[in-house]
């Protein structure tokens, strides 16, 4: 970011050490999960945010972050051990452990030996993914909010707007969905929408008359939401000065973009805490499992936390469907689009849209960061 603005504690500490970047069915018990790799202690502010939004004490928040790091570490090897019998996995807060669903009892002992609990189910992840892929070829009516594979339900979950569930178009879509595989229908109060906003101030970036939020620094610029601007669009910074240009953008279908910044601006591996918590250093992009805690920073509602509810969800916005999104219980509002999602100190993705607000609550989706980095060949700026 371009300043003179007061450098917050995380930035100051970073400059002292690395310098500025060049550019801006029943769960079976098993052995304990392996100890996670050493990581910096969570800041008091982060623990306070988790206490506020997740109802945890500081000690419980620290224990949860440690257990989630361990679950994320074992998830990849557990998937490999399960092989074709793999049916998905999730973090279970009540036990502090990763649960791996399998379709073959013979694979349970091998998975448990890695430090995960197991659940025996009917449908494999591959079968559920095929059922979801068939839904992705359909044009959904506005009364269908989205759909995703839910490993805990061992089903494809289709979310419909409560007031439109019995309309002919929604019923026809649900009938076609059920014909293609196991489907569970759930209701939501509102349809999802993107979180761009008009120019109203704050600490954002602007393109045209739209305000959005920076996601994560990469070498050469930053990543953000695709619906915030098209390739070639000029970007202004928080002070109104020329900041950069959208080098690539995709929406709908995807919801991600890459902004290249001009000289006079720089990037640091930091996510703003907005005074709610100290600014957070970004140390990597290890993907958190379903059920893990997660927090979001945005220029309108600042810092809020929740949990990962689902992955690889298709979200049906009025502008068109967006695929491979991650669903969370974190709230957001207009202007938060493009902002950062973090789990601990690991980048997760950029805010896309959702429903509700930060007064009454709601749900928000993000586009995963690793997909964006791979699409544009970018390197995340880390501490």
Active site residues: 227, 255, 337
Structure tokens at 69: 């790091």
Query: For residue 16, what are the contacts with CB-CB under 8 A and spacing of at least 6?
Result: none
* Among the listed residues 376, 49, 382, the one whose alpha carbon sits nearest the alpha carbon of residue 223: 376
Give all strands (DSSP E) within 121-250, no chain letters: 144-150, 155-161, 183-188, 193-194, 197-198, 205-207, 210-212, 216-218, 221-224, 234-236, 242-250
Query: For residue 293, what are the contacts with CB-CB under 8 A and spacing of at least 6?
Result: 50, 54, 61, 64, 65, 68, 305, 306, 307, 343
Query: For residue 177, what are the contacts with CB-CB under 8 A and spacing of at least 6?
Result: 135, 138, 147, 156, 158, 183
328 vs 343: CA distance, rounded Å: 12
- The bridge status of strand 242-250 relative to strand 270-271 is unpaired
Question: With contact defined as beta carbons under 8 Å apart, do 349 and 332 qualify?
Answer: no
* Among the listed residues 145, 144, 149, the one whose alpha carbon sits nearest the alpha carbon of residue 173: 144
């Amino acid at each position: 970011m371009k300043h003179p603005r007061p450098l917050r504690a995380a930035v100051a500490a970073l400059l002292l050490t690395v310098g500025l970047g060049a550019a801006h069915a029943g769960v079976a018990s098993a052995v304990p999960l392996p100890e996670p790799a050493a990581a910096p202690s969570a800041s008091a502010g982060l623990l306070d945010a988790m206490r506020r939004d997740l109802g945890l004490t500081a000690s419980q928040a620290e224990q949860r972050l440690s257990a989630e790091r361990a679950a994320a570490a074992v998830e990849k090897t557990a998937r490999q051990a399960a092989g074709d019998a793999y049916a998905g996995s999730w973090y279970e807060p009540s036990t502090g452990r990763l649960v791996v669903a399998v379709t073959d009892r013979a694979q349970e002992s091998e998975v448990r030996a890695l430090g995960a609990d197991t659940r025996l189910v009917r449908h494999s992840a591959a079968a559920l993914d095929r059922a979801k892929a068939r839904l992705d070829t359909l044009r959904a009516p506005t009364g269908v909010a989205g759909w995703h594979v839910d490993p805990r339900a061992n089903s494809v979950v289709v979310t419909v707007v409560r007031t439109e569930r019995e309309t002919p178009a929604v019923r026809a879509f649900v009938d076609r969905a059920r014909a293609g595989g196991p489907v569970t229908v759930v209701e939501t109060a509102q349809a999802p929408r993107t979180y761009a906003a008009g120019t109203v101030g704050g600490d954002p970036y602007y393109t045209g008359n739209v305000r959005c939020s920076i996601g994560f620094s990469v070498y050469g610029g930053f990543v953000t939401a695709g619906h915030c601007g098209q390739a070639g669009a000029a970007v202004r910074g928080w002070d109104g000065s020329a900041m950069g240009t959208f080098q690539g953008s995709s929406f709908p279908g995807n919801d991600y973009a890459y902004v290249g910044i001009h000289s006079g601006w720089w990037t640091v591996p930091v996510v703003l805490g907005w005074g709610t918590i100290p600014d957070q250093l970004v140390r990597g992009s290890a993907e958190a499992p379903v059920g893990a805690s997660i927090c979001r920073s945005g220029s309108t509602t600042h810092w809020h936390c929740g949990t990962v509810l689902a992955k690889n969800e298709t979200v049906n916005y009025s502008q068109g469907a967006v695929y491979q999104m991650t669903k969370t219980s974190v709230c957001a509002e207009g202007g938060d689009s493009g902002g950062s999602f973090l789990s601990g100190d690991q980048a997760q993705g950029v805010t896309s849209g959702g429903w509700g607000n930060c007064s009454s609550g709601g749900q928000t989706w993000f586009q995963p960061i690793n997909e964006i980095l791979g699409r544009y060949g970018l390197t995340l700026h880390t501490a």
